[in-house]
Amino acid sequence: MPILLILLLIPVAILALLLLGAALWTASLARMAERLVPRPGQMQKVRGGAIHYVESGNSDAPAVVLIHGLSAQLQHYTYGIVPLLEQQFRVIALDRPGCGYSERDHDTLAALPEQAKMIWEALDALGVETPLLVGHSLGGAVALAMALERPGAASGLALISPLTHRQPEEMDAFRGLDVPSAALRRLIGYTIAAPLAQRTATTVLTEVFRPEAWPDDFLARGGGALGLRPKGFISASADYMAANDGILAQEGRYADELKTPGGVLFGAEDNLLPPDTQGRPMMRYGLHYEAAPGRGHMLPITAPGLCADFIQRMAARE
């Protein structure tokens, strides 16, 4: 074999070995994550995938459906909010399509209207009628998409730190999710995403929770370890890209089509989504707005009592 060809193949072989090592490391991290955060709930098949959910509370009471945000899972609600609602409501916390232990067949189902359809289909199968939709962060955008998809089907909205309008600037904490190619998304997900996430977890969590501290038990009790699976990166990246494209079209529908009542709760010091551009403008469409002083973006984890009180008040308004 010519020496030149050998010299050209050496970097390729080194890269292949590095990717193989990263893939093996990723597989190990994924197994660890699922041992640390096993599947707690049931699966409901829907077109395009399946929705993983946990249900508790009074089955004859009004239903509250809890929808989590970007790169997250239903444990953001079971962490502290669910036990505070169980005496008063039928409580359903779910993993959005493709997230946590839920499934979706392809990345195009990350689009906000598609997620809305899949969740509504799951709720129909569970016999849930006129629920109060609770959405945190990107889950707020999905809850709004559900209200637009089926006007009058939800009794109300309780949006916590929601994405409601297009962000003019990219969020530093999620810059690594900006991967337009589905194929590249999977290559990254099955090789380097999880090892990099493990190394940068402290920095990223500090940024996401700022100005509040993130709890020591977040990776297990809050489900954060599930982000170390390839699926966690792939779904989060697809969600991020779809939200960037979809939220602009969605916000153009609020004035004429958003008829569901409710409210918005923000942390006044939110480090990810500015309350003045994501929360306060929703007052134009009839939603109540309030901001909690000294609080950041991760209210379901850092202030479950505040969130539960807000949810109860939004339910009482309806």
- Rg of the chain (C-alpha set): 20
Provide the pLDDT for residue 101. 97
Provide the pLDDT for residue 13. 57
**What is the full DSSP assignment across 54-88?**
EEEE-TTSPEEEEE--TT--THHHHTTTHHHHTTT
Question: What residue ranges define each of the domains in the chain, with the CATH number in brackets?
Answer: 34-317 (3.40.50.1820)
Sign of CA dihedral 84, 101, 148, 61: negative
- As a whole number of angstroms, the distance between CA 249 and CA 114 comes to 14
How far lies 170's CA from each of 16, 174, 199, 281, 296, in Å?
Answer: 32, 8, 22, 20, 18
Q: How far apart are the first and last CA of the chain?
A: 77
185: helix, coil or strand? helix
pLDDT by residue for the chain (318 residues), tens only, comes to 566 555 455 565 565 655 556 667 677 878 888 898 999 999 999 999 999 999 999 989 999 999 999 999 999 999 999 999 999 999 999 999 999 999 999 999 999 999 999 999 999 999 999 999 999 999 999 999 999 999 999 999 999 999 999 987 767 778 889 999 999 999 999 998 888 888 888 989 999 999 999 999 999 999 999 998 999 999 999 999 999 889 999 999 999 999 999 999 999 999 999 999 999 999 999 999 999 999 999 999 999 999 999 999 999 986
Provide the pLDDT for residue 198. 82
Rounded to the nearest 5 percent, the helix, strand and coil shares of the chain are: 50, 15, 35
Provide the pLDDT for residue 133. 98
Provide the pLDDT for residue 210. 94
Is the bond preceding 304 in cis, omega lying within 30 degrees of 0? no
Provide the pLDDT for residue 68. 98
- As a whole number of angstroms, the distance between CA 317 and CA 216 comes to 36
Closest CA to 109 of 156, 49, 38, 194: 49
Provide the pLDDT for residue 8. 55
109-127 burial code (b ≥16 CB/10 A, e <16): bbbbbbbbbbbbbbbeebe
Provide the pLDDT for residue 153. 97
Tokens standing for residue 194: 């999880």
